[in-house]
Amino acid sequence: MQNKNHSDLYDSISRIDEISGSGELFEVLIRVMSVLRSDTGCMWDREQTHDTIKRNIVEEAYEAVDSIEGRDFLGLKEELGDILLQVVFHSQIAVDNNEFNLNDVLKTIISKLVRRHPHVFAGKPVSSSREVLENWEDIKKEERKNKLSDNFSIFTNIPKLLPALHYAYEIQTRAARYGFDWENPAGVIGKIKEEIAELEKELEKREKSGISDEAGDLLFSIVNLTRHINIDSEQALKGTCKKFIKRFDFMEKYAADKGLDFKNLTIEEKDKVWEIAKEQLRDN
């Protein structure tokens, strides 16, 4: 049964497909969330806090990325809506807690965009995208100085929950914008060889902490190489994982078709089947 106090909202919902203005649609979304969090709304929505739904932001973002990678643009449309819902949801929780409101969120991002694009809104000349990014980092660092008097590192606001490869990439990118970087991929390859040698030494010592440190250094250097040759290390590794799964699944099926127990094959036999899988799936 519809609540009479929200009759105008129900009217808007009933003609949602007829509304063409994004502002009006956004207002409907805000009001829907407000009703869901109200005393006459949904018990589950009303019980949520910033902490209880914080994982949803990450999950929805990953689902949007999956849609992009799969060129599923109908799916992307839905996932972007789910991300927008998280913004509105957290904003409504903040309103209920007297922390801030959605207008504050919008004003903050608008001001930030204008402030970080002085070449567009303040007439500051730039000659390349690289210079735009360097200016962006300078502006962000100044912002951090104003927020944190005792900590204004260029790395301060890189989310620690990022996947490790992405986290390393962000660190290296910011350092590079300050001129701390290899001049070319050859220098990074040399560093990778150096790290492999250091890892081998630690493996001989069999000390886990040293091995972990050197393995981390090696991975960090590999991310640096992919960055220099404009390859996304996250995507490269994901691609290899998918390829491995396809080949391994082929191996198990191939063995089963031959009446063999794949698990009990010798490593030499498995290697032979692996080579067959590589050949059969070469174009996949």
Residue 114 shares a structural domain with residue 8? yes
Residue 189 shares a structural domain with residue 247? no
Residue 14 shares a structural domain with residue 111? yes
Residue 45 shares a structural domain with residue 94? yes
pLDDT at 3 (0 to 100): 55
pLDDT at 1 (0 to 100): 43
Each residue of 240-284: pLDDT tens digit?
Answer: 999 999 999 999 999 999 999 999 999 999 999 999 999 999 866
Which of residues 142 and 16 earns the better pLDDT score?
A: 16
DSSP 44: H
> CA angle 140-117-146, nearest 5°?
25
pLDDT at 283 (0 to 100): 67
Residue 70 shares a structural domain with residue 11? yes
Each residue of 84-125: pLDDT tens digit?
Answer: 999 999 999 999 999 999 999 999 999 999 999 999 999 889
How many Cα neighbours within 13 Å face the side chain of 51? 0
Q: CA gyration radius for the chain?
A: 26
CB environment 208-225: b (16+ within 10 A), e (fewer)? eeebeebeebbebbbbbb
* Average pLDDT in the chain: 91
- 3-state SS record for 52-67: CCHHHHHHHHHHHHHH
Q: In the chain, helix, strand, coil percent, each to 5? A: 75, 0, 25
User: How far apart are alpha carbons 32 and 50 in whole angstroms?
Assistant: 18
Residues of the domain holding 59: 4-118
Which whole-number Å values give the CA distances from 54 to 87, 111, 173, in the listed order?
11, 25, 27
- Among 10, 16, 11, 6, which residue's Cα sits nearest to residue 40? 6
Residue 29 has pLDDT above 60, yes or no: yes
What is the CATH classification number for the domain harbouring 85?
A: 1.10.287.1080
User: How far apart are alpha carbons 158 and 191 in whole angstroms?
Assistant: 25
Residue 176 shares a structural domain with residue 216? yes
pLDDT at 50 (0 to 100): 96
Residue 103 shares a structural domain with residue 179? no
Q: What pTM value is reported for the model?
A: 0.66
- Among 59, 256, 10, which residue's Cα sits nearest to residue 161? 59
Residue 184 shares a structural domain with residue 111? no
Residue 10 shares a structural domain with residue 58? yes
> How many domains, in total, are found in the chain?
4
CB of 234 within 8 A of CB of 165?
A: yes
First to last CA, the chain: 54
Residue 187 shares a structural domain with residue 242? no
Q: What's the one-letter identity of residue 134?
A: E
Q: What's the one-letter identity of residue 6?
A: H
pLDDT band at 4 (very low <50, low <70, confident <90, very high): low
User: Quick one: average pLDDT of 28-44?
Assistant: 94
Each residue of 187-236: pLDDT tens digit?
Answer: 999 999 999 999 999 999 999 999 999 999 999 999 999 999 999 998 89
Residue 14 shares a structural domain with residue 72? yes
Residue 171 has pLDDT above 70, yes or no: yes
User: How far apart are alpha carbons 32 and 11 in whole angstroms?
Assistant: 12
Residue 200 shares a structural domain with residue 110? no
